[in-house]
A and B are shown apart, each in its own frame.
Chain A
Amino acid sequence: MLYDIGMTIAYDYDHPANAGRHILRLMPADLPGLQRRITGALTITPEPAEQRALTDFFGNPGVEVVFREAHDEILFRLTSRVERLPQPRGFDISPPLSRLSTEIAEHRSLDASAPHHFLTASPRVALSPEITAWARAQVSPAMTVAAAVEAVGLAIHRDFDFDPDATTVDTPPAEAFARRRGVCQDFAHVMIAGLRGIGVPAGYVSGFLRTFPPPGQPRLEGADAMHAWVRTWCGWEAGWTEYDPTNAIAAGTDHIVVARGRDYGDVAPVKGVLRIAGEQSTEQAVDVVPVE
């Protein structure tokens, strides 16, 4: 699938910000065999005083920008053409849940794709006994890892309501879990907490969804802004797979990956430090159109 992606993110400050430094993770990723970025352009207003490309620990490309003049708004505008390559859906070759910990322990590496980074609490995903117990109730030790992941994902879709007013970008997963409501970020965080709680390495993916579905299919939830889903390590042979709990589907050609990390904090599209007084407001608009 070929897509044209357009996104704008605008920040508005009540009082001018004196200085700011941000890391932007907005550009669709180039993932061999999975996704190809054909073009990509990012424009920033006002013009930053400094701008520098970087690649983070998890391999995500980013841009660090520095503002030094007082400014009361910032506009990021992204345009990109991306090709998403279809993945054949093969057999389930993941081990049973009960054997996963042995396979993880045999993985003697700390590189970005090692499962170890995704097993314990991370800055925005604390493990919670309640979420763990709930996740455990969805699975059995004899299930394959892939089946267990799907079971937990389906349970989120079944038990949770999509409600943009219930949570904010900083809501911890335990709180979203207690309310059984939230948006894609909350669902992804709760699923990650649950899977880690039962010993399945799970990480966070940020990206885009195609805005309008193919004819005859329902429109997916989460297409108006940047979307989030979950990736899990399903053993040596199956490796990493991605699952979208908001829509209860395996991530496929409708999902365009921007960045991957342990939780939202690792992949926040605009991470930054501002010296401001007063409030700020944000607006985000996303358009993902298939190129016919």
Chain B
Amino acid sequence: MPTSARRQGRAGDEAAIARLLAGYHPPAGTSDELYDHEGAIRPVWREFIGHLAGLPPDDVTRRFARGDQYLRDAGVFYRQYDAKGANERDWPLSHVPVLIEEAEAESLSRGLIQRANLLEMVLADLYGENRLVANGHLPAGLIAANREWLRPLVGVRPRGGHFLHLVAFEIGRGPDGNWWVLGDRTQAPSGAGFALENRVATARVFSDFAAEIHVHRLAGFFRAFRGALQRLSPDPASRIAILTPGPLNDTYYEHAYIARYLGFMLLEGEDLAVEGGKVMVRTVDGLRPISVLWRRLDAAFADPLELDDTSRLGTPGLVGALREGSVTLVNALGSGVLESRALLAFLPRIAEELLGEPLLLPNIATWWCGQPTERAHVRANLDRLMIGSALSTRLPFEPDDATLLGRQLREGAPGEPADGAQGAFDDWIETNGASLVGQEAVVLSTTPAWVDGALVPRPMSLRVFLARTATGWEVMPGGFARIGNSLDPKAIAMQRGGSAADVWVVSPEPVDHVSLLEPRPGGFARTAPGVLPARAADNLFWLGRYVERAEGIMRMARAYHVRLAETADPEAPLTAHLAAYLERAGVELDRPIPHALTDVLVSAIISAGNVRDRFSIDGWMALNDLLKTANQLAGRVTEGDDAARALGVLLRKITGFSGLVHENMYRFTGWRFLSVGRSLERAITMAGALSAFADPGAPDGALDLAVEIGDSVMTHRQRYAVTTSRETVVDLLALDALNPRSVLYQLSEIRDHVAFLPDAEVNGQMSPLARRVLQLHTALAVETPGTVDPGALCDLVNDIGGLSTLLSDTYLR
């Protein structure tokens, strides 16, 4: 393939394009995004296809790899569920974006804005006067049976008057070339953050080209939405936060990403408390007011007192606070009622009723089988309809075993209509009509995807986002495209191997450069540091402890394997003494890389995973890499020298991680909790090791071992110019104020950090924690090596451990 294809002029371009599209044959009976109905390339795609055709194949591969690398480095993943449970998978980016002409996007926007306004009116009615039910436009039974119609919220008018602030619509292009709405996402739509990541990755792939063809940027949409959320808060001192179900949710990555991107706190239900009808966040500095919650948690889980009482993710009293009008939820609790499939059957008529005009953008044709006429229609057209649960919120192409083509149903698929008998099926649909809908089977348009070095057509649907701003709904100029991995429209769901693509809205004119940051003429102002939720502080504190504990285990296990390599005798007195000490500390030497080590690394990752919005991506990757390496090594190293070297590798990696964190983390309160955790653990490890190895009864070589565990071999040689003695070792590792491995040094670190924590000193009075730290520090500082005996060291371990409890009681509740 000539590398100069781009310069070969028009004839060369045409030849290259023809080669690129040689295998691109959209199936009959569908629309295609690239080709119009005459089979000509749509104008919006021409430049892009010309550019792609001009790239040599190895360049294409390199570019796609660049996009994938970005996603891996950014830590973008999604969670896949299979028989074995949940796995984190690489983000499946389809590198070829979906291109849409600006004029077409604008006409779509008009239809979607109309729909968003309509949904707002329907929701206000369902939680207010219920005129749609009274006038027969919605069946009462359908609403009453919907679990997302939340009775405790009936009659509760949201503060500010609006129920919906961020909505998403899943749309697809039908065989006739027109767009259809496939489903409404009104509860807590996901994907806006992923759309942004798809954009960043795709821009890396086509870095030199994207700017040339006037692609609308996404940042303006996010800036508008952030501004809108800020305006929802009447009091600038109270805060905006994202409410997440937590790290086990399949889109938690996105919650953390959006929180970082927009600068909002990421909170879980237990971070919140309701007091006096107001929602507060528990911080290390006490309760602080929250004014706006962007909810990524399904409504039923939000308040175990008034909603689902089995929920462990919620905040008791939240519904009460909404009744008081002290907080805005985005979107309002109960807005999920609009997502059920059956509603699509009624919206066209409701639009005429409430807006006095038809839907500009139709939704997929739907018949609710709870009405005799509609039921008859479904029965008559069974072969081309999908039959499924009326109240399901799944999109037509999402995996759902209970939704089947009518034909399959009649053949007896769900068990109920037995024997394939039409009569039995009729009975079934008569009896269960109220819980069923028939929907037109979806035929999606196809769009180019790069598979095995060639462009092929794949089915596609788009998710488009709308945010309510002061001036009305703002539509994201782009979106989240799902691309199928085969021509079967059901293969579009990511859980079934589908992938995601960026959406380019292409303008004929140059587009504005917008970034998230407001331009601020006349300099800048620093914003006040945010508050630190107690749960985040707790996780950072324990992260500090776990990482330091892991390092301690590495050092001791390495020392053990070095001794083993030297003597080849696990029963040698010093080796056995060390093994016994490790065992008392819960570290079994059953394998060269102890289980205790990988366990504590897992704990560290769980803690870090709970605060991903506050944690650098590099740090997160380094920590995961550490565990991965430890697991790999555990599977293959042997005792003695091999293990000692492997543990050395891990030690270098973990100090790399610590450096990354401590060099780069801003000195907010969160960093102090992390540092206190580290110092506390290090002090405990050192005092414990000294009690065992600086014991007069310990075997020969124990003192050198203590110095080695304390990573102070060189220092000892320089400071004392003698061989190790009990006095020199205790002096260096317990009492030396300048040795960063000594107990005293760590206590002074703790003392310094604690002085910066909230309420460490009130009117000249020290907090109980600050006082206790100072007591321990002072008591140790005045000791001499002679008085620090094993008993005193054991007491020290307990006393320092007591600081952990005191810290938790003070700040982490």
A: residues with CB less than 8 A from B are 18, 21-23, 50, 52, 54, 56-58, 64, 66, 104-105, 107-111, 114, 116-117, 119-120, 123, 265, 271-273
A22 to B305, CA, bound (A): 7
- Contact partner, A57, options B141, B145, B152, B274, Cβ 8 Å: B152
A197 to B525, CA, bound (A): 65
Answer whether residue B353 sits at the interface, using C-beta atoms and an 8 A cutoff.
no
B470 on the A face (CB < 8 A): no
B276 at the interface (CB under 8 A from A): yes
Is the CB–CB distance between A110 and B144 below 8 Å? yes
Complex interface: chain A residues within 8 A of B136 (CB): 108
Bound state CA distance, A56 and B145, in angstroms?
18
B140 contact from A21, A57, A110, Cβ within 8 A: A110
| B761, chain A: closest CB distance, angstroms | 26
Instruction: Tell me whether A56 and B140 are in contact (CB under 8 A).
Output: no
Cβ-Cβ contact count across A and B, 8 Å cutoff: 67
User: What's the Cα separation between A116 and B151 when bound, in Å?
Assistant: 13
- Nearest Cβ distance between residue A121 and chain B, in whole angstroms? 8
A206 CA to B669 CA in the complex, in Å? Answer: 51
**Any A CB within 8 A of the CB of B272:** no
**Do the beta carbons of B152 and A52 come within 8 Å of each other?**
no
A123 touches B308 (CB 8 A): yes
Q: Do residues A273 and B145 form an inter-chain contact, with CB atoms below 8 A? A: no
Given contacts A23-B305, A273-B304, contact A108 B317 (CB under 8 A): no
B803 within 8 A of A: no
A109-B130, A109-B133 known; A104 vs B141 contact (CB < 8 Å): yes
Whether A120 and B145, one on each chain, are in contact in the complex, defined by CB atoms closer than 8 angstroms, is: yes
Cα separation A21 to B306 with both chains bound (whole Å): 11
Question: In the complex, which range does the number of interface residues on chain B fall in?
Answer: 20 to 34
Closest residue of chain B to A124 (Cβ to Cβ) is B309
B154 interface residue per 8 A CB criterion: yes
CA A22 to CA B309, docked complex, whole Å: 11
**Cβ-based interface call for B553 (8 A):** no
Main secondary structure of the interface of A (DSSP, over half): mixed
Which chain A residues border B274 with CB–CB below 8 Å? 21
Q: Binding site of B, secondary structure by majority: helix, strand, loop or mixed? A: loop
Asked whether, in the complex, the Cβ of A110 is within 8 Å of the Cβ of B145, the reply is no
Q: Note all chain B residues with C-beta closer than 8 A to A104.
A: 141
| Alpha-carbon distance between A22 and B304 when the two chains are bound, in angstroms | 10
Known contacts A116-B144, A119-B144; decide if A110 and B320 are in contact (CB<8 Å).
no
Residues of B within 8 A of A22 (CB): 305
- Complex CA gap A265/B275 in Å reads 25
Contact code string B111-142 (vs A, CB < 8 Å = 1, else 0):
00000000000000000001001111001110
**B282: min CB distance to chain A, Å:** 11
Q: Are A109 and B316 in contact (CB under 8 A)?
A: no
Residue in B133, B274, B308 with the greatest tally of chain A CB atoms within 10 Å: B133
Q: A108 to B129: give the CA distance in the assembly, Å.
A: 12
Q: A66 to B119, alpha carbons, bound, how many Å?
A: 36
In the complex, residue of chain A having the shortest beta-carbon distance to the beta carbon of B151 = A57
Q: List 14 A-B contacts (CB under 8 A).
A: A18-B813, A21-B317, A52-B320, A57-B151, A107-B140, A108-B136, A110-B130, A110-B140, A110-B154, A119-B141, A120-B141, A265-B309, A272-B305, A273-B309
For the complex, give the distance between the alpha carbons of A110 and B133 in Å.
Answer: 8
Query: In this complex, what residue of A is CB-closest to B370?
Result: A105
B133 proximity list for chain A (CB < 8 A):
108-110
| A273 to B316 alpha-carbon distance, docked (Å) | 7
* Distance between Cα atoms of A184 and B112 in the complex (Å): 52
Residue-by-residue, is B267-290 near A (CB-CB < 8 Å gives 1, otherwise 0)? 000000011100000000000000
B574 CB within 8 Å of chain A: no
User: Nearest Cβ distance between residue B371 and chain A, in whole angstroms?
Assistant: 9
User: Given the complex, which residues of B lie within 8 Å of A52, measured CB to CB?
Assistant: 320
Find the A residue at minimum CB distance from B155.
Answer: A57
Assembled-state Cα–Cα distance A105/B136 (Å): 10
- Closest residue of chain B to A114, judged by CB? B140
Q: Are B141 and A116 in contact (CB under 8 A)?
A: yes
The residue that B309 contacts in the complex, of A57, A66, A107, A271, with Cβ under 8 A, is A271
State in angstroms the CA–CA spacing of A130 and B120 once bound together: 41
C-alpha gap A58/B135 in the complex (Å)? 22
CA A23 to CA B305, docked complex, whole Å: 8
Which residues of A sit under 8 angstroms from B275, Cβ to Cβ?
50
Known A23-B305, A273-B304; judge A105-B141 contact (CB<8 A).
yes
Within 8 A of A (CB), among B144-177: 144-145, 151-152, 154
Q: Which residues of B contact A271 (CB under 8 A)?
A: 305, 309
Q: Is B703 an interface residue (CB 8 A)?
A: no
The 3 closest A-B pairs by CB, nearest first: A116-B144, A57-B151, A273-B316
B143 CB–A CB distance under 8 Å: yes
Are A109 and B309 neighbours in the complex by a CB distance under 8 Å? no
Q: Which residue of the partner chain B has the closest CB to A262?
A: B151
Chain B residue contacts of A105, Cβ below 8 A: 139, 141
CA gap between A252 and B579 in the complex, in Å: 77
B145 lies within 8 A of A108 (CB): no
Task: Give Cα A66 to B280, complex, Å.
Answer: 15
Closest to A23 in B: B305
Q: A18 vs B813: C-alpha distance in the bound complex, in angstroms?
A: 10
If A271-B305, A273-B316 touch, whether A114 touches B152 (CB-CB below 8 Å) is no
Q: Which residues of A contact B308 (CB under 8 A)?
A: 123
Checking B134, B140, B141, B320 against A64 with a beta-carbon cut-off of 8 angstroms, the contacting residue is B320
**Among B133, B141, B275, residue most surrounded by chain A Cβ atoms (within 10 Å):** B141
